[in-house]
């Protein structure tokens, strides 16, 4: 279980997160929705300290981190227990697909080389890219790169995987394969998934829990049915009305 308590973050005078409180149960898929600039990505990046929030608490099972006083050791432990999938994939460009997945296992998990490669191959197979093991990121499509990004996160067997708009940089044609990979991961793997996305369809089909954010605050949260079909807040209704009118075509 991961709990965020009263997270605050400001860039100068611009307050991006205005006290976020939420609890994400172990093994659940939680989708964070919201308009651009609502602070979704900043919130996600605060969890593994890629962005250092100003105040608040992050509690991951037995690991309790007070953001304002977090030590390097705590940050490092938090990062070792989480993994992230990025909007722009951020694969290691000097490593092959297989090496990208094996890298964390070798360096962070200190696995022997053969075991790390075997495990990397297993996850590469899982995302359907076994034949691309020796390819460098430069030679792969965006969708393939992102699937490798997902395999890289899964292979670490983290408690939580943070997805930061994983399909936003993709061609519309390639979005499907990445969403399918995520769905498959959600079904097969028992780790918690925290997903920032604009894919309402994905939220409806896969999420256990939906959080709607706006202007640095959580406006509404609940099951996908509750938030997406019968939203209570005016702002959520507005947002969904605009979104669903055009996403409906895909569904």
The residue ranges that bind other proteins (CB under 8 A) are 48, 50, 76, 79-80, 82-84, 86, 88, 90-95, 103-104, 107-108, 134-136, 138-139, 152-153, 156, 162
Shortest separation between residue 92's beta carbon and other proteins, angstroms: 5
Residue 32 or 105 with smaller CB distance to other proteins = 105
The rounded distance, in Å, linking the Cα atoms of 22 and 3 is: 6
Phi, psi of 83 (to 5 degrees): -140, 165
Residue 160 or 203 with smaller CB distance to other proteins = 160
Residue 98 or 200 with smaller CB distance to other proteins = 98
What DSSP letter does each residue of 106-134 carry, written as one string?
HHTS---HHHHHHHHHHHHHHTT-GGGTT
Residue 127 or 240 with smaller CB distance to other proteins = 127
Shortest separation between residue 169's beta carbon and other proteins, angstroms: 11
Answer yes or no: are the C-beta atoms of 168 and 135 closer than 8 Å: no
Q: Strand (E) positions, the chain?
A: 2-11, 14-24, 29-33, 55-60, 63-66, 82-85, 160-164, 192-196, 209-214, 217-222
Shortest separation between residue 192's beta carbon and other proteins, angstroms: 15
Shortest separation between residue 70's beta carbon and other proteins, angstroms: 14
Residue 67 or 153 with smaller CB distance to other proteins = 153
Answer yes or no: are the C-beta atoms of 65 and 229 closer than 8 Å: no
Closest CA to 129 of 111, 155, 104, 162: 155
Shortest separation between residue 150's beta carbon and other proteins, angstroms: 12
């Amino acid at each position: 279980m991961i709990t965020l308590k009263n997270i605050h973050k400001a860039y100068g005078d611009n307050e991006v997160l205005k006290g976020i409180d939420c609890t994400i149960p172990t093994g659940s898929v939680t989708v964070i929705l919201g308009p651009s600039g609502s602070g979704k990505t900043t919130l996600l990046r605060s969890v593994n300290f890629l962005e250092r929030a100003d105040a608040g608490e992050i509690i991951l099972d037995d690991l309790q981190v007070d953001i304002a006083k977090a030590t390097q050791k705590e940050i490092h432990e938090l990062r070792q227990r989480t993994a992230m999938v990025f909007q722009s994939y951020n694969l290691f460009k000097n490593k092959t697909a297989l090496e990208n997945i094996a890298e964390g296992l070798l360096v962070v998990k200190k696995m022997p080389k053969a075991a790390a490669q075997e495990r990397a191959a297993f996850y590469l197979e899982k995302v359907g890219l076994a034949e691309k093991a020796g390819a460098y990121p430069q030679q792969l499509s965006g969708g393939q790169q992102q699937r490798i990004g997902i395999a890289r996160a899964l292979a670490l067997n983290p408690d939580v995987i943070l997805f930061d708009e994983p399909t936003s940089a993709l061609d519309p044609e390639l979005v499907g394969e990445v969403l399918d990979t995520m769905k498959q991961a959600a079904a097969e793997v028992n780790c918690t998934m925290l997903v920032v996305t604009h894919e309402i369809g994905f939220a409806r089909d896969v999420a256990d829990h939906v959080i709607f954010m706006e202007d640095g605050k959580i406006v509404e949260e609940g099951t996908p049915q509750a938030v997406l079909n019968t939203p209570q807040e005016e702002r959520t209704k507005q947002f969904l009305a605009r979104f669903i009118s055009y996403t409906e075509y895909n569904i």
